[in-house]
Amino acid sequence: MNRDAFDLRVTEAATADVRLARKEFDGAGQWLTSAGRRPSEPLAAEVWVFDEGLARVLLVRHRWRGWVPPGGRVEAGETPREGARRELFEETGIEAELLREPAAATVRSYHPEWPATLGLSFVAIVDAATPLVTETGQPAAWTSLAEDWAGCFPADASRVRQHARWLRGESDR
CA–CA separation, 123 vs 137, rounded Å? 24
| Average pLDDT over all residues of the chain | 89
pLDDT of residue 171: 67
11-33: average pLDDT? 90
Lowest mean per-residue pLDDT among 37-51, 67-81, 100-114, 156-170 = 37-51
Closest by CA to 54, choosing from 134, 124, 104, is 124
As a CATH number, domain 3-167 is: 3.90.79.10
pLDDT band at 172 (very low <50, low <70, confident <90, very high): low
pLDDT band at 17 (very low <50, low <70, confident <90, very high): very high
Contacts of residue 29, Cβ cutoff 8 Å, sequence gap at least 6:
18, 19, 105
Closest by CA to 58, choosing from 46, 44, 70, is 70
pLDDT of residue 133: 95
Whether the predicted pLDDT of 5 surpasses 80: no
Q: What does pTM read for this prediction? A: 0.90
Q: Please tell me whether residue 138 adopts helix, strand or coil conformation.
A: strand
pLDDT of residue 23: 95
Lowest mean per-residue pLDDT among 30-44, 90-104, 145-159 = 30-44
Whether the predicted pLDDT of 40 surpasses 90: no
State the burial class of residue 170 (Cβ atoms within 10 Å of its Cβ: 0-12, 13-18, 19+).
exposed
Alpha helices per DSSP H over the chain:
3-20, 28-34, 80-92, 155-167
Which has the higher per-residue pLDDT, 27 or 103?
Answer: 103
CA–CA separation, 111 vs 132, rounded Å? 26
Compute CA distances 17 → 62, 68, 81, 105, whole Å. 25, 21, 8, 8
Buried b (16+ CB within 10 A) or exposed e, 29-50: bebbeebeeebeebbbbbbbbb
pLDDT band at 2 (very low <50, low <70, confident <90, very high): very low
Contacts of residue 112, Cβ cutoff 8 Å, sequence gap at least 6:
none
Share of the chain above pLDDT 90, in %: 66
Q: Encode pLDDT of 69-108 as tens digits.
A: 999 999 988 999 999 999 999 999 999 999 999 999 999 8
pLDDT of residue 66: 93
Q: How many CA atoms lie within 13 A of 41 on its CB side?
A: 8
